[in-house]
Chains A and B, each alone.
Chain A
Amino acid sequence: MNSSRTAWLFLTPALLVLGVFFLLPVIAALVLSLTDYDLYALANIHNLRFVALQNYWALLHQPLFWSALGHTVYFVAVGVPLSMGTSLGAALLLNSPLARCKPFFRTALFAPVVTTVVAVAVIWRYLFNTKYGMANFVLGHLGIHPVDWLGDPHWAMPTIILFAVWKNFGYNMIIFLAGLQAIPLDLYEAARIDGASAWRQFRHITLPMLGPTLLMVSILTVSGYFQLFAEPYVMTEGGPLQSTTSVLYLMYDEGFKWWNLGSASAVAFLLFLIMFAVTALMLKLARRGHDGEPA
């Protein structure tokens, strides 16, 4: 009967929202990126020019775009492995039969995930203050010179990476924990009987069994980390010397600070293309490395 009609009725509200407020703007962004839409055009549409690929061309010749991309890639390349390593380590600890008070530790380690980025970034800004911050105070006791965490262009990004790892590792930890719990215990039992060390068990049982989970988690984490914005916005305002200006920060500045919407859309699309290429590459590599199916 009209079951198909019912289905569409159920779908309409959500699809309408996604279509009008997501899909349509995405298509519009593509069009926008081919124009020089800016404040002048916002004031008077006659000041709008179609510029074809000029925005993209100009971006590729702009050192700031490359340095922003460099900072973003730095953040992803260092932050993702560090974050996933921490998650996996924490999950292994929590999964160990020797661990006590597991629910408490699980909650404690997960707590940073639910907090608001802006609020905890503000906390970190003070903890990592050069003069009065707790971080330098502790380092001082260990005999290490104070580090200008957020003021030194070489240290600002590592500090933000540390912050991101602290904030995010709990999320993947939970996923890994579930993955670990799904590994049949008799596999380890058999390995132990064969005399395999803990490391060999990890290498030959845990890692392969976690494979699909690892792949999926790394893809999600990579795309999440590519969207770096709130952390530098609150902690460094993109500085010092623009050393924490990410691609998204550049898009925000270009688009919503200076209102060059055309060029900002081009930034957004380039970021999308790069993210797409990176995830596709990861999938491909994973497929070649494993015969297992992707999650």
Chain B
Amino acid sequence: MNLGGRPHRSLHLRSIRCGLRLACVFLCAPLISGCGHASAENHELTFWTIGREGEAIIKLLPDFERAHPDIHVNVQQLPMSAAHQKLLTAFAGGSMPDMTQLGNTWLPEMVALDALEPLQPLVDHSTVIKPDDYFASIWATNVVGGKLYGVPWYVDTRLLFYRKDLLKAAGFDAPPRDWAEWRRMLAALSDLQQHTYGILLPTNEYEQLMSLALQEPDPLLRDGGRYGNFESTGFKRALTFYVDTFRLHQAPPITNVEAGNPWSEFGRGVYAFYLSGPWNIGEFRKRLPAAQQDDWSTAPLPGPDDAGIGAAGGSSLVIFRTAKHKDAAWQLIEYLSQPQVQQRFYDLLGDMPPRRASWAGGSLHDDPKARAFREQLERVRPTPAVPEWERIANEMQLVAAQAIAGELTIDQATTEMDRRTDRILEKRRWILDHTHPSAEANR
């Protein structure tokens, strides 16, 4: 249906002058492609980043562009909260960039849409990217149906930031090892009168509950991702622990919009724990005064009974099937995968590299605050690799927020989660059961 088979991109109307020609756009729709000018002559590689990565990447690019004078990289930053939607919209509207940063939990979705370029052949010929060097569970999140679609860029697993001094003052010398001990600490560190809480768990972020749920042996979905499994004993135990934290006033029931500036509140001792990701190492270093830098540290997640498992999160670099500059995109991916570039990236932003070689040198190697992450990374588990996962996780959190507010009991909440999940997965079940010869989504 594409008019004359011309790429959409040729329609970028750069100036108002072109607007006057718009009358022709609708009066004689077939002629519209005459309105734009082909953008094929400029080797402009469009690269979408999510959240703050865009600001850091701009500092890494000059070296790349010097080495590849024919490539100009156009970086666009998607706001974190709108990124998933923007990516889907771009797909729906056929306006994808050449390459993007992609949360690895979103990867199955893009693969189901057949939007991504398989990368195995490129990796096979690469002298830079060595799959064995990557953390195995992280690499595995980029493989869907036996095919590789992304190269891990940085890893993100949630763990505990905690105030050493506050824990010590409450009589605890080490971070918690299991949930029972954690609960005792949270109780000791919360004081309703003084408005201090053991931990901040923003009620509109699903990552925290998900991190707890992944500790349990029960999978989050069952029957090959056909149905929800939230009514399992394991998930109920995780949800109970999560909701109890609010009911016992050990966490305030607020969203991150209301939480405002969590870093300074952590510094003031409003929260003793903060369950978050690696980028906050940098934020805390930047935002807390020098005198306080020895008072905080990081620790792996405690599990229900012993050392916990983290979510194998993070972002990968992917190339869109529709990309016009696939070679250039791959060259950029290789550049960003070099250990020394990844080390600089860590220095700029605190994003942790997915390959062991990058951890072996640079400031990362000696950083005591990063050690917990290194430890955790060998014990991570991926979230269910179904395209609907993002939506399911969102629904899970919406229901969990109702449980926090006391509107639902644990049993009611898990039933509701399964009900919503099963409805969301209805189409997936149908597709799985009606294998259509050309249905790409069926993997």
Contact = CB atoms under 8 A, between A and B. Distances in A.
Interface of A: 13, 16-17, 20-21, 36, 38-40, 42-44, 46-47, 49, 58, 130-131, 148, 150-151, 153, 236-237, 239-242, 256-259
Given A13-B27, A256-B89, A47 B439 contact: yes
A40 B427 contact: yes
Given A40-B427, A259-B88, 14 more contacts: A36-B427, A39-B92, A39-B112, A39-B387, A40-B441, A43-B440, A58-B423, A130-B258, A150-B257, A236-B257, A239-B257, A240-B203, A241-B402, A241-B405
A240 B255 contact: yes
Given A16-B26, A151-B258, A258 B113 contact: no
Interface stretch (B175-183, B372-380, B430-438): B430-438
B91 interface: yes
A38 B113 contact: no
Contacts of B430: 49
B254 interface: yes
Given A241-B402, A258-B391, A47 B112 contact: no
B26 A47 contact: no
A24 B89 CA distance: 22
A102 B257 CA distance: 41
A21 B29 CA distance: 13
A242 B204 CA distance: 10
Contacts of B257: 150-151, 236-237, 239
CB-based closest 5 A-B pairs: A43-B113, A151-B258, A257-B85, A40-B441, A46-B436
Contact of B92 (A150, A242, A259): A259
A256 B398 contact: no
Contacts of B260: 131
A132 B366 CA distance: 41
B13 to A, nearest CB: 17
Contacts of A58: 423
Contacts of B439: 44, 46-47
Contacts of B427: 36, 38, 40, 47
Nearest to A129: B260
19 contacts: A13-B23, A21-B26, A36-B427, A40-B112, A42-B91, A43-B441, A44-B114, A44-B439, A46-B436, A47-B431, A58-B423, A130-B258, A150-B258, A151-B255, A151-B258, A237-B257, A239-B255, A241-B405, A258-B391
A192 B84 CA distance: 66
A58 B426 CA distance: 12
Contacts of B402: 241
B431 to A, nearest CB: 6
Nearest to B426: A36
Chain B interface, DSSP helix/strand/loop, else mixed: helix
Interface of B: 23, 26-27, 81, 84-85, 88-89, 91-92, 109, 112-115, 203-204, 254-255, 257-258, 260, 387, 391, 398, 401-402, 405, 407, 423, 427, 430-431, 436, 438-441
B204 to A, nearest CB: 6
B112 to A, nearest CB: 7
A153 to B, nearest CB: 8
Contact of A39 (B113, B255, B401, B405): B113
Contacts of A13: 23, 26-27
B255 A47 contact: no
A238 to B, nearest CB: 10
A131 B257 CA distance: 12
Given A44-B439, A47-B441, A17 B391 contact: no
Nearest to A62: B423
Contacts of A21: 26
Contacts of A150: 257-258
B26 A44 contact: no
Contacts of B254: 151
B204 A44 contact: no
A44 B438 contact: yes
A70 to B, nearest CB: 15
Contacts of A240: 203, 255
A39 B88 contact: yes
A256 B255 CA distance: 23
Contacts of B88: 39, 257-259
A256 B85 contact: yes
